């Protein structure tokens, strides 16, 4: 077996080759150490992740959300009453009363959309969406007078009530979320007008007379004239032809609900027939 030569026994060329191998091996070890160090650091959270985690706020307490919800009770009650009035006037085809009811709803819905935000983000979102549906209902209702284009009157009524239903559903969901009660309104009723009462005259005892009775008349009485035709067939009343058209009732023939002589300008038995 050949003996290993010592360093001083090697040629200059062999010494250069040996130094190159040592330097290459050292460089490889340095690179491996750097990669291992970088791999260990990659497991630490980045600054962005840490910032995101720190920025996440805890959800609001149920007590805070309930306090905020109780503060909206008056506004929710007014909107519920206004929505009930709009529904009733649409069902009755009462265009005269419908327009101011829709204008009131629009004002209340705008107030709700600008109401201070709830402490709970999801509760605020549901509240805001519900208020938006009520605002949509008021806008569809307003198109009955400002012009719905080619949209039929019955379609405008349907879209108005659908938007009201959607608003009710969102706010019912809100009440369930915060554990509160849903604002409701009793149906709107029209107060009856004052009834005139006549006071009966005091009874008096007629004085006795001795006048002879008048002879019975032999001339037959003329027949009583036929009663004039009624101008209305029901309690429906339209202030003018615009109101009748808004309610979808024009033209109105004599004997139909809402007909009256004041709306029949040429007295031909058909009111509000002109456009």
Q: What is the pLDDT of residues 190-218, one digit of tens each?
A: 444 333 333 444 545 555 555 555 655 55
Residues 71 and 144 in one domain: yes
Q: What is the pTM for the complete model shown?
A: 0.49
Instruction: Work out the average pLDDT over 90-101.
Output: 91
Is the distance from CB of 207 to CB of 215 less than 8 angstroms? no
Boundary residue ending a domain (138, 162, 178): 178
Residue 55 lies in a domain: no
- CB burial readout 44-80, b (16+ within 10 A) else e: eeeeeeeeeeeeeeeebeeeebbebbeebeebbebbb
Boundary residue ending a domain (178, 211, 243): 178
Residue 254 pLDDT: 85
Residues 75 and 156 in one domain: yes
Residue 30 lies in a domain: no
The model's pLDDT over 229-254, given as tens digits with 9 standing for 90+, comes to: 444 445 788 778 888 888 877 788 88
Instruction: Work out the average pLDDT over 7-14.
Output: 65
Q: What is the rounded average pLDDT for all residues in the chain?
A: 74
Residue 105: other Cβ atoms inside 10 A: 27
Residue 149 lies in a domain: yes
Residue 173 lies in a domain: yes
Residues 156 and 71 in one domain: yes
DSSP string computed for 188-226: P-PPPPPPP-PPPPPP--PPP--PPPPPPP-SPPPPPPP
Residue 38 lies in a domain: no
Residue 255 lies in a domain: yes
Boundary residue ending a domain (133, 155, 178): 178
Q: How confident is the model at residue 45 (pLDDT cuts 50, 70, 90)?
A: very low
Residue 131 lies in a domain: yes
Domain range holding 258?
Answer: 231-275
Instruction: Work out the average pLDDT over 49-64.
Output: 51
Q: How confident is the model at residue 17 (pLDDT cuts 50, 70, 90)?
A: low
Least confident of 57-66, 74-83, 133-142, 229-238: 229-238
- Of residues 95 and 117, which shows the higher confidence score? 117
Is the distance from CB of 183 to CB of 77 less than 8 angstroms? yes
What is the domain count for the chain?
A: 2
CA distances from 201 to 29, 196, 205, 271 (A): 127, 16, 12, 43
Share of the chain above pLDDT 90, in %: 33
Residue 222 lies in a domain: no
Residues 79 and 160 in one domain: yes
């Amino acid at each position: 077996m050949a003996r290993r030569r010592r360093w001083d026994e090697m040629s200059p060329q062999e010494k250069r080759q040996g130094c190159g191998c040592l330097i290459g091996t050292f460089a490889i070890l340095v690179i491996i150490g750097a990669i291992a160090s970088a791999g260990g650091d990659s497991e630490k959270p980045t600054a962005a992740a840490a910032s995101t985690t720190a920025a996440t706020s805890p959800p609001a307490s149920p007590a805070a959300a309930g306090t905020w919800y109780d503060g909206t009770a008056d506004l929710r009650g007014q909107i519920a009453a206004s929505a009930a009035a709009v529904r009733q006037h649409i069902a009755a085809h009462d265009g005269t009363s419908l327009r101011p009811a829709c204008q009131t709803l629009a004002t209340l819905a705008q107030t709700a959309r600008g109401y201070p935000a709830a402490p709970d983000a999801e509760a605020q979102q549901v509240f805001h969406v519900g208020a938006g549906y009520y605002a949509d209902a008021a806008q569809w209702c307003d198109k009955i007078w400002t012009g719905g284009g080619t949209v039929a009157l019955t379609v405008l009524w349907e879209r108005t009530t659908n938007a009201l239903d959607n608003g009710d559903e969102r706010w019912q969901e809100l009440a369930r979320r915060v554990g509160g009660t849903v604002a409701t309104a009793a149906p709107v009723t029209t107060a009856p007008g004052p009834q005139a009462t006549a006071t009966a005259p005091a009874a008096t005892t007629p004085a006795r007379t001795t006048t002879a009775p008048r002879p019975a008349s032999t001339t037959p009485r003329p027949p009583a004239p036929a009663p004039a035709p009624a101008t209305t067939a029901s309690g429906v009343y339209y202030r003018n032809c615009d109101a009748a058209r808004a309610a979808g009732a024009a033209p109105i023939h004599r004997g139909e609900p809402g007909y009256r002589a004041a709306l029949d300008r040429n007295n031909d038995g058909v009111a509000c027939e002109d456009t």
